[in-house]
Chain A
Amino acid sequence: MIGRDLLGIEDLDRADLERILETAERMQEVGTREVKKVPTLRGRTIVNLFFEPSTRTRTSFEIAGKRLSADVVNFSPTSSSLTKDESILDTARTLDAMAPDAVVVRHKVAGVPKRIADALAAPVINAGDGAHEHPTQALLDLLTVYQEKGRIDGLSVTIVGDVLHSRVARSNIYGFLKLGAEVRIAAPPTLIPPAIETLGVKAFTSLREAIDGADVVMALRIQRERLDGAYVPSIREYSATFGLDRTKLRFAKDDAIVMHPGPVNRGVELSHDLADHRPSVILDQVRNGVALRMAVLYLFAGRPLAPAREG
């Protein structure tokens, strides 16, 4: 049963995921119309509350809201509690007093959407919090894989890269496991989260072993500041060992697809050639992102009345 907020894939069950994906498939049709707009959320107000810059995700949510006829407001405070400006909760309460129908939150610190949800009447949708979760990214990845492969159950999925700092990885691990896939991760030991096997995945430091026989290989974006010697010795060493190219990919299944949440550091996570052409499906992911976020806004912001919040 879908709750009031969408804070993470960890909180959802298989039926919730299937319902969101089915709704997203219906929303895809809207994107093919000449007039890409339906009146579903007319009169509803959605606030994109982005404490961390994100052009791509924010734009995707904005287009999704507009295609559903919602009024979408973008609010990007530059302040944080660390700079002694207005606190995040005060910002959120201020917004709440303006009675939005949903608040989409992005913050660089894990847990902020949860804290905001605890303080607000409006439903909160997590658009990425620190290294915690990025549920709509995982959902659009699930939709993309489902449409490519016709199933999720029984697939072998490998996630490559900076899993330690990745909310995309965590949400995808939960999502693929809940829908019956097997998940492996591949990273240098310094970028494998402690006790990651407790989430139900197998961790490898050998890319070859990790992608052996994989149906899906997902490369994670690596932030350059992690590569300055703090976690791996250099970009060159990282891309030589974990950067995907057609040679390394031959250990995966012949029909394996390659995914990336974007933006791609070309020549680091993916070779130039792989970033642009099949088997990578990066632009399909972006395209599906809009339909998926329409589904999420419809399911979480389109209810007649918000149910009472639990404890």
Chain B
Amino acid sequence: MGRILIRRGRVLDPNSNRDETADVLIEDGRIAAVEASLEVPGAEVIDARGLWVAPGFVDLHTHLREPGQEYKEDIASGGRAAVAGGFTTVACMANTHPANDDPAVTDYILDRARQDSPARVLPVAAATKGLEGSVMTEMSAILRAGAVAFSDDGRTIMDSGVMRRVLEYSCMVDAPVIVHAEDCTLVGHGVVNEGPVSTRLGLPGNPAVAEAAHVARDLLLAQLTGAHLHIAHVSTALAVDLIRRAREQGIHVTAEVTPHHLTLTDEATLGYDTNAKVAPPLRSAADARACRKALVEGVIDAIATDHAPHAVHEKDVEFTAAPSGLIGLETALAVVLDLVRAGELEPLELMRRMSTNPVRILRRPGGSLGVGAPADVVVLDPEKEWLYDPAKGFSKSRNSPWAGHTLTGQVKITLVDGRLVYDVARGVLAP
């Protein structure tokens, strides 16, 4: 394998707290050197002047839809969308058809990923069989097959006794349990955030307390069991407060927030755009502010996309009938750079929440530009403006609230294991 020299970029390595202009040498798929100035005859040179060089992003929350719903997305298209968005690793959720509740399904996903995906794929397995919230999956066997965490994402384990046992059992296998925290009896038929916007739209509201009540239950169960609880897509100020207090008490909890919950509010649904219909729903401006503050302060550890592809014909229906979810892999960077532009987060700290922190939650190597680390690298232009057209993107689906928007901040190059897998000028190059 050849040598690649990334020259004169602003190197942002959260793992070593490095933030300086430097050259990065990649050799045999690993970071070989990071120095103020390197001369490497024969190396392929990437000119990174004016660009940021950071560890490849790690998405804790992606729906790749394979097996079973390949018309929405598959491991190949989702993997391509990932690297186009600077993600070198994606954790894929278990709500496939069949659900990833068995080592054979985990095997299948990893096999497809090895063949089809330019990004690394880390399967998240179901916590209960068939995502039905009653019988635990064979966690040990599924972990041996290569899964990294457990989640009934999209469904909530409403039976508190089952949830307690899932958390207890997860301690033995030492893997995080990821929860989509919504009390579905409080959600009811709610499809938008409950508040002034749901009242104006005349649509059933999903109250903030539906999330918070469930977060509270799971935090208490995490405290009881000592398990590692990871709360997916936090969307409310109420949940942020609960997580903050739990961390102060030493409960083993981590949390993620999505680009859309950080930057959009329920007002995005005012025109009944089903591409802004998502679970949990886009919330109030105060909720979004609380999530941003929590991310800045470290109460929320990571940014995760909850990339949820749905076909045009599925979204092109009555608001109440449309499935929830939006695609986010290709827009995440540009959207969350808003926190840097607003002066809320230093570039190094943003990169930490995109790579180093998420990979640590999954207890995996990566998220580092240290010498010897696998060369999963993103080179990006934080200032570049570009027009986002999902039809020209790599995801099979188009359900994005940012469709047609001019976004600022673009991925230029993505390397996985030292291989050039994405170049904005040439598209996805591998596998």
Task: Produce 1/0 per residue, A64-88, CB < 8 A to B.
Answer: 0000000000000000111000011
Q: Are B316 and A87 in contact (CB under 8 A)?
A: yes
State which size class the interface on B falls in.
20 to 34
Min CB distance, B111 to chain A, in Å?
A: 33
Q: Are B196 and A198 in contact (CB under 8 A)?
A: yes
Task: Produce 1/0 per residue, A176-212, CB < 8 A to B.
Answer: 0000000000000000011110110000000000000
Q: Are B319 and A111 in contact (CB under 8 A)?
A: yes
Judge if B313 is at the interface, Cβ distance under 8 Å.
yes
Q: A81-B321, A109-B321, A115-B272 are in contact. Are A132 and B195 (CB under 8 A)?
A: no
C-alpha gap A88/B200 in the complex (Å): 22
Task: Produce 1/0 per residue, A95-134, CB < 8 A to B.
Answer: 0000000000001011110110000000000000111110
Min CB distance, A174 to chain B, in Å?
A: 10
- Among A107, A109, A114, A129, point to the contact of B271 (Cβ < 8 A): A114
Judge if B17 is at the interface, Cβ distance under 8 Å.
no
Q: Are A194 and B271 in contact (CB under 8 A)?
A: no
Chain B, range 187-229, C-beta contacts under 8 Å to A: 194-196, 198-203, 205, 207
Q: Are B272 and A110 in contact (CB under 8 A)?
A: yes
C-alpha gap A122/B319 in the complex (Å): 22
- The number of A-B residue pairs with CB atoms under 8 Å apart is 68
Q: Are A107 and B318 in contact (CB under 8 A)?
A: yes
Q: A114-B271, A114-B272 are in contact. Are A81 and B317 (CB under 8 A)?
A: yes
Q: Are A87 and B202 in contact (CB under 8 A)?
A: no
C-alpha gap A183/B202 in the complex (Å): 18
Task: Produce 1/0 per residue, A270-285, CB < 8 A to B.
Answer: 0000000000000000
Q: Are B200 and A87 in contact (CB under 8 A)?
A: no
* Residues of chain B lying within 8 A (CB to CB) of residue A107: 318
Q: A110-B201, A110-B203, A133-B202 are in contact. Are A195 and B319 (CB under 8 A)?
A: no
Pairs A-B, 6 closest by C-beta atoms = A132-B202, A111-B272, A131-B202, A81-B317, A110-B202, A109-B318
* Interchain Cβ contacts under 8 Å between A and B, 18 examples: A80-B321, A87-B313, A107-B318, A109-B319, A110-B202, A111-B202, A114-B271, A114-B272, A115-B318, A129-B202, A130-B202, A131-B203, A170-B202, A194-B196, A194-B199, A194-B205, A194-B207, A195-B195
Q: Which residues of A contact B (CB under 8 A)?
A: 10, 80-82, 87-89, 107, 109-112, 114-115, 129-133, 167, 170, 193-196, 198-199
